[in-house]
Amino acid sequence: MQQEWTNWSGSLRFTPGSTETPSDEEELAQLVCRAASDGRTVRAAGAGHSSSPLVQTEDILVSMERFRGVEHHDPGAREVTVKSGMMLREANRAFLDLGLALENLGDVDLQSLVGAIGTGTHGTGRRFHILSHHLIGGRLVNGRGEIVEFPMERDSEFVLAARVALGALGIFTALRLRLVPAFRLHRREWCAHIEDCLADLDRLIEENRNFDFYWYPRSDEAKLRTLNFPEEDQKTTIPYARCVKEMSGWSGEVIPRQRELRFDEIEFFFPAEAGPRCFREVRKRVKARHRKSVGWRVLYRTIAADNAYLSGAHSRDSVTISLHQNNTLPYDEYFRDIEHIFRDYGGRPHWGKKHYLKAGDLRPLYPMWDRFLELRQRMDPEGVFLNPYLSELLGCGRTAPLHA
Ligand SMILES: Cc1cc2nc3c(=O)[nH]c(=O)nc-3n(C[C@H](O)[C@H](O)[C@H](O)COP(=O)(O)OP(=O)(O)OC[C@H]3O[C@@H](n4cnc5c(N)ncnc54)[C@H](O)[C@@H]3O)c2cc1C
């Protein structure tokens, strides 16, 4: 009997028709080829840390857990090709062994690298991009079951689409990344009143390599997090804040943290200049309508503009605001209400988190939306990699009749 699949927060559950764990590219290619000729669908799953139903399927679910390890390393170019099933933590360690690192990381490292790339996962820091920015090529199995290589040198356009692909262009088997030299950071966490933090926000963002803050609606307190190169961090001062924790280490050791309590989350990307106003409006609404039911925090981060077609930060330096809700409590009414504000500020949703937007809402937000869809159609003409959620999200359906 098939086992039920559950995401990290427990808000998504489904039972796939079958779960496949191919051991190499050829086996995966044959699997997709068979699925295509039988009119079936295939979704690839990473670590299940997304809370939008991207991987949901009643048909074939593919796990890439057997695709592990470094395939190729070019020290001069700081390039590494890894097999696509590597977890982020495992990848960080492998990169460090080669003296390399991703320039930035998000809050945890328990996702797969390919899943993080697939949804535009990001950390914070106004000079740093989403993780996908490192992707400069790789290989995938397309909807016809063909193995396709897509080096940046030959097909830079496809790489820009592949950087945030939602699992809709094919199943990646290898990822080629250009990395940066490994580096150490000094991390500090501070407590302050939210008004003091907001009054000083520009300086905090400007002067720290990485800065973000959590606002706690019930107390109006904020937790500030700063990360800087250890030798430069001596000058960091926040006179109105109390430093409550600090540590130093390699970037992969100090940026991600453990998350003991499970939560659901909605997060949107905004033009950087709109961030503070949007946050103030969210804060006002949370206090007016949701404070009784919301004990959790609101997170504010910054990201540099990039050119990946479906990146939340496409062509604009961005701020992200995310709402967390304990996974044992209802989130729907809260998230829907605040999403109205997010949309008023031109917000683009994080693809791996909750949101309520559909193709018609999304298309005007992404200048390269149509081009992404053309490439998707080229890679997967029969919609082998579509599920009902993706069809609605992207506004495209299967062109072949479904398997009876
Ligand atoms: C506790 C927690 C903390 C988080 N922190 C952050 C954060 O700091 N910043 C942030 O931006 N996000 C964050 N997220 C969101 C998370 O990074 C994304 O949802 C990410 O996509 C999850 O990766 P995954 O490995 O779980 O992939 P999944 O959720 O399993 O899949 C994500 C997508 O990748 C696709 N995919 C998987 N494997 C392949 C493959 N081989 N080829 C092609 N496509 C594939 C799937 O089909 C799907 O579309 C967090 C989530 C949680 C639960």
Q: Whose CA is nearest to atom 13 of ligand 1?
A: 121
Q: What is the DSSP string of 376-395?
A: HHHH-TT-TT--HHHHHHHT
φ, ψ (nearest 5 deg) of residue 348:
-115, 135
Across the chain, what does the average pLDDT equal?
Answer: 95
Higher pLDDT, 381 or 3: 381
**CB neighbour list of residue 225: distance below 8 Å, 6 or more residues apart:** 124, 187, 188, 189, 190, 210, 211, 212, 213, 214
Indicate the top mutation candidate among 90, 114, 133 to test ligand 1's pocket, ranked by most ligand atoms within 8 A of CB: 114
Indicate the top mutation candidate among 89, 111, 113, 259 to test ligand 1's pocket, ranked by most ligand atoms within 8 A of CB: 111
For residue 107, the CA-to-ligand 1 centroid distance in Å is: 12
pLDDT of residue 224: 98
Q: State which ligand 1 atom lies nearest to the alpha carbon of 64.
A: 41
Q: How confident is the model at residue 371 (pLDDT cuts 50, 70, 90)?
A: very high
Q: How confident is the model at residue 331 (pLDDT cuts 50, 70, 90)?
A: very high
Q: What separation, in Å, do the N-terminal and C-terminal C-alpha atoms of the chain show?
A: 21
For residue 49, the CA-to-ligand 1 centroid distance in Å is: 5
Rounded Cα–Cα distance for residues 20 and 233 (Å):
48
Rounded Cα–Cα distance for residues 330 and 151 (Å):
44
Say if residue 401's pLDDT is above 50.
no
Q: How confident is the model at residue 66 (pLDDT cuts 50, 70, 90)?
A: very high
Rounded Cα–Cα distance for residues 43 and 214 (Å):
34
Q: How confident is the model at residue 293 (pLDDT cuts 50, 70, 90)?
A: confident
For residue 310, the CA-to-ligand 1 centroid distance in Å is: 15
For residue 289, the CA-to-ligand 1 centroid distance in Å is: 31
* Residue 371 host element (H or E): helix 369-379
298-320 tens-digit pLDDT: 999 999 999 999 999 999 999 99
For residue 26, the CA-to-ligand 1 centroid distance in Å is: 25
* Chain-centroid distance, C-alpha 18: 26
pLDDT of residue 404: 36
Task: Output the six-digit token pair for 106.
Answer: 């998000």
pLDDT of residue 398: 61
Rounded Cα–Cα distance for residues 390 and 375 (Å):
15
For residue 91, the CA-to-ligand 1 centroid distance in Å is: 15
Find the mean pLDDT for residues 191-198.
98
Q: What is the DSSP string of 152-214?
A: TTT-HHHHHHHTT-TT-S-EEEEEEEE-EE--EEEEEEEEEEHHHHHHTHHHHHHHSSEEEEE
Q: What is the DSSP string of 331-367?
A: -HHHHHHHHHHHHHTT-EE-TTS-----HHHHGGG-T
Say if residue 402's pLDDT is above 90.
no
Flag whether the pTM goes above 0.95.
yes
Find the mean pLDDT for residues 204-227.
96
Q: What is the DSSP string of 297-330?
A: -EEEEEE--B--TT-TTBTS-EEEEEEEEETTS-
pLDDT of residue 259: 82
The answer to whether the CB of 164 falls within 8 A of the CB of 308 is yes
Q: State which ligand 1 atom lies nearest to the alpha carbon of 169.
A: 43
